[in-house]
Chains A and B, each alone.
Chain A
């Protein structure tokens, strides 16, 4: 912070000091911002379209934005001073940055819905692709085999991940083993494991020897995909559950132990019930991640066009693989099938996400209800 002495003419121009909150805007501020926006737009139009030929709307946008920032700075500097002007500019840029999160998401969703929705019919949920030829209309696309595959593989993954992830998180939080530190580091490292490497590993360690030895269980099938997905999902779930368990108040644990409960009993009857909503949210978000995972499946479940309800033998399709295969086809008629699959996939992800928010919200609502009571007690 540097303090500059006001120059003589600045003192003469200075308005009487008014109380100003750094975060608030007055109607005059808003009016000035609006004026800057309008004049920046008009000036951009004048320069880029009347004086020059504009290379595109993106250039217009950039020029208008820069002009707006410049004008806002000059106007605010004249009204409120240099510091306030810098503050206003940064606020504007920060808001733009936050919009940068929102816009791609909206565009992405809009694009997938527009591309997939016209061709999505009930048929997608009732038959597979074995009887559909490449020249058939897009609305004849059937994805039942993919949906069944995704459901089975995700369910099997949960069978592995939930016990192992929960136990590891409990190990990290509730025991005093000296292996906790290395395990935590490894969990962190594994969460950055590229998913394609997980698929490659299952392929190298199980499928190649399995095929060479002629063991049916260890060749392209849903179970192998499940192993790869487990490796992707396990660290995510473990870490989230770890965080949730850390939020359980120590007082509860100590009370349970003081009453004579064993450590196992404490975890089972006190810690886990307290953390239940958090654990559920973690698992649902893990499912959402696994349901859209494609890379490891390329090496493990391989994909097929007909129904295979047995995850333990034979290649199996799943929704992400379905999308990936069709989108890479050259015929636009066939490519469209991929977009239908993408729409179904995104609906699935959204449903899971909404479910996770719903489960998570229960807890926050209860907390919100409790908080006023507590403050009321403190006031008393």
Chain B
């Protein structure tokens, strides 16, 4: 309802269309920007302090820090190569197990299950993500490890000619990098599954229906439409999972003996990762502590690089444009 009032002035003043900020608005903008920049600041400060504290270690070992396997502060030998090798091997094993499984699970959730089951499974993936790493480690250490040891034994006895399955005489089969990778793969599953599921859910229904209408079976539709469409998301999700697996700490620190070494015998007792090694040596001081900081810095840079690449791949691919990975 408008009531026409007699205008006091024949020509109304021109309205300014630009946004005029009230005081509350200006405060709002300042506060939110401050919060956003605080995030940037925190990350920068983390990097700075790690570099600052890692200084002595780099000073002692120089570039040799990246090429030395042994990590022994007492004798002044600091090297991250053995730790880094273990970290990467465990993460790769984990990804190798987790990615095929999560592609299958994501396919089941998006294509094969129906209404109610779909909600239940999505909740299940969230629940898997909420279970602490500590409990996975505990379970792997006391339940899975002894159960897997006979399998490793069998693999060695029958396929020992293959370098990965070989072992030294009298070596134990518990606390191996293979078991650690298996447990870490369970921890990576939720993130890879949820990213891949989101990607699959975004497949254009028109293309799926077109494939089915042309007489394709469901597998034909998945193979020709969903997998090509979701390829970017699958790669990105796997790399995000890799980032998680690299930084996984407590489970690995419980499972592995944490002795830096480079070995291809993944089935036998041995192995170490950066994060697990740091956790096991949390009481260190002096040069050892500085070495730990340097190792932490290497891990930090490694994970950041992996995550960045993953985000870029996901957001550039056709399927992942709207996915919040």
Contact = CB atoms under 8 A, between A and B. Distances in A.
Interface of A: 1, 22-23, 55-56, 58-59, 83-84, 86-87, 90-91, 93-98, 100-102, 104-105, 107-108, 111-112, 115, 163-164, 167-168, 170-172, 174-175, 177, 179-180, 182-183, 185-198, 200-201, 204-205, 208, 231, 234-235, 238-239, 242-243, 262-265, 267, 285, 288-289, 291-295, 298-299, 320, 323-324, 327-328, 338-339, 342, 345-346, 349, 352-353, 357
Closest 8 CB pairs of A and B: A97-B104, A292-B132, A194-B247, A167-B35, A264-B28, A192-B307, A171-B32, A87-B217
A189 B104 contact: no
Given A183-B39, A193-B247, A294-B134, A299 B282 contact: yes
B131 A188 contact: no
A203 to B, nearest CB: 8
Interface of B: 22, 24-25, 27-29, 31-40, 42-43, 45-46, 49-50, 52-53, 100-101, 103-105, 107-109, 111-113, 121, 123-128, 130-136, 138-139, 141-143, 150-151, 154, 186, 189, 193, 212, 214-222, 224, 240, 243-244, 246-250, 253-254, 275, 278-279, 282, 292-293, 296, 299-300, 303-304, 306-308, 311, 324-325
Most chain A beta-carbon contacts within 10 A, residue among B125, B219, B324: B219
Contact of B104 (A93, A104, A349, A353): A93
A111 B143 contact: yes
A53 to B, nearest CB: 12
Contact of B22 (A262, A267, A298, A349): A262
Most chain A beta-carbon contacts within 10 A, residue among B37, B134, B154, B275: B134
Chief secondary structure at chain A's binding surface: helix
Contact of B24 (A183, A262, A295): A262
A165 to B, nearest CB: 8
A357 B224 CA distance: 36
A285 B253 CA distance: 25
A201 B49 contact: yes
B303 A168 contact: no
B249 A295 contact: yes
11 contacts: A94-B107, A112-B139, A168-B32, A172-B36, A179-B33, A183-B36, A189-B43, A192-B307, A197-B50, A201-B49, A285-B126
Contact of B130 (A193, A196, A289, A299): A289
B36 A328 contact: no
A349 B136 CA distance: 13
Contact of A197 (B24, B133, B248, B299): B299
Given A86-B217, A97-B105, A190 B43 contact: yes
B112 A91 contact: yes
B25 A264 contact: yes
A294 B139 contact: no
A227 to B, nearest CB: 10
B135 A175 contact: no
B36 A94 contact: no
A324 B32 contact: no
A171 B24 contact: no
Nearest to B139: A108
